[in-house]
Amino acid sequence: MSSADAEIETDTAHPRTRPVTLAGGAVQSRADIPRARRVVVKVGSSSISGPNADQIGPLVDALAATYARGAEVILVSSGAIATGMPYLKLDSRPTDLATQQAAAAVGQNLLVYRYQESLRRFHIVAGQVLLTASDIDNPTHRSNAQRAMERLLKLRILPIVNENDTVATHEIRFGDNDRLAALVSQLVEADLLVLLSDVDALYTRPPHEAGAIKISEVPFGDELEGVTFGEAGVAGVGTGGAGTKVAAARLATEAGTPVLVTSTPQVAAALSGADIGTWFEARVALRG
């Protein structure tokens, strides 16, 4: 038996292997969030890399608190390319595919290591899941991914999902990890999807512009007419923005999973059901 296997086997005595059974699980409002049995949380590159790498600790604290109440937690984390960039001596996100793949190969390893080191405080083991868009589109690959995720969750492993940047091409990319998170929430039939970024909520226009008004709730089917989205990405490392989050929220809510959009520093409050962020109402009674 390897030392890693021995460590995991020793941890099986920890309460993480005996999850609490939560009553219900249906989430229809922020107040219901603490009842969610299966939660997908997505965090963007700019929130957990570079000068913000220290936000991994508070993020893990919030995920662990949700896990401790018996919920199943899946983290969709961007940041492999951004994390690998300094080691390739890059000052900005590379534009050519080969260098992106190289940065991701270096960064993914370091990123998961940082998460695991932080999760170790709570005796939680992470499992890396790398997907491409073709994995979701291909019925066999999709079934395999779904089965693996379900098994990880039943074993009380915390899956950390990212796009497999080292093999993905421009033609088969998800486009951004907000979309990936929505597809993962469909794959595992999540009760809740939380999309984290640098902004505390969705606004009627970029929040730094005059006249921007916070949008607290978005009813299912609301087309958000008159809302203006700003440029995607922050500090040259991210690929998503308000527009990608709205598109992802529509994808998830159509499948019956409500979505909360807020900032990474507010993740603990968000997962406790606080009245923050922008709430996207889901289609009602789509799943049995």
CATH value at residue 82: 3.40.1160.10
Binding-site members for ATP are 42, 197-198
Cβ atoms of residues 107 and 78 within 8 Å: no
- Residue 288, classed as helix, strand or coil, is coil
In a domain, 16, yes or no: no
Q: Is 183 exposed, middle or buried (0-12, 13-18, 19+ CB in 10 A)?
A: buried
State the total domains in the chain.
Answer: 1
- pLDDT reported for residue 15: 38
As beta bridge partners, residue 258 has none
Q: Give me the domain span that covers residue 140.
A: 23-280
- pLDDT reported for residue 26: 80
Query: Hunting for tokens 């595919």 — which residue is that?
Result: 97
**Strand 202-203 to 214-215 pairing:** antiparallel
In a domain, 81, yes or no: yes
In a domain, 198, yes or no: yes
Phi and psi at residue 203, to the nearest 5°: -120, 165
Cβ atoms of residues 234 and 164 within 8 Å: no
Query: Hunting for tokens 């963007």 — which residue is that?
Result: 44
Give dist(CA 246, CA 195) in Å, integer.
10
Cβ atoms of residues 236 and 230 within 8 Å: no
In a domain, 177, yes or no: yes
Q: What are the DSSP E strand ranges found in 29-163? A: 38-43, 72-77, 126-131, 158-163
pLDDT in tens, the chain (288 residues): 444 444 443 343 343 333 443 444 589 999 999 999 999 999 999 999 989 999 999 999 999 999 999 999 999 999 999 999 999 999 998 888 889 889 999 999 999 999 999 999 999 999 999 998 888 889 999 999 999 999 999 999 999 999 887 776 554 356 578 999 999 999 999 999 999 999 999 999 999 899 999 999 999 999 898 788 765 544 444 445 788 999 999 999 999 999 999 999 999 999 999 999 999 999 975 444
- Cα–Cα distances in angstroms (integers) from residue 46 to residues 49, 51, 102, 147, 180, in the given order: 6, 9, 19, 31, 17
In a domain, 174, yes or no: yes
Provide the whole-model pTM: 0.86
**Looking at residue 232, what DSSP letter applies?**
S
Cα–chain-centroid distance for residue 250? 16
In a domain, 158, yes or no: yes
Contacts of 29 (CB under 8 A, 6+ apart): 279
With CA atoms as reference, report the closest residue to 37 among 17, 76, 67.
Answer: 67
**Looking at residue 206, what DSSP letter applies?**
-
In a domain, 207, yes or no: yes
In a domain, 74, yes or no: yes
Binding-site members are 42, 78, 165, 177, 197-198
Give dist(CA 225, CA 174) in Å, integer.
25
Helices first, then strands: H and E counts in the chain:
10, 10
Give dist(CA 7, CA 283) in Å, integer.
43
Give dist(CA 125, CA 139) in Å, integer.
28
Binding-site members for substrate are 78, 165, 177
